[in-house]
Amino acid sequence: MDDTINIIVTIQHSAGLHARPAAQFVKTASRFPCKISVRKVDSDKPPANAKSPLSILTLGVNQGDRVEIIAEGEQAQEAIEALVELVQSNFGEAVTTGS
């Protein structure tokens, strides 16, 4: 069953998808055999490979931005669930707002 699964989530981390959160995102995505990409909603940039740190960083995702996570292939559902849980847990940190 090679369905494509996608979901849109809001990044709440103060660093967005940069530095440590980006590394955690890539590490989590890399645990799964399926193809996973991330697209910044409301951006003209093409989807990025979720398993490539450089690709994630080039999206320029900041706090409050919405991203679409797209998984296709084996364990796509599990991959989506793990990445959504990571984002919703604020990458294991308390949510901070403002600068």
Catalytic residues: 18
Going through 1-99 in order, the beta strands assigned E by DSSP cover: 4-10, 35-40, 48-49, 66-72
**Residue 24 half-sphere exposure toward CB, CA atoms < 13 A:** 19
CB neighbours (10 Å) of residue 20?
Answer: 12
Report d(CA 79, CA 93) in Å as an integer. Answer: 21
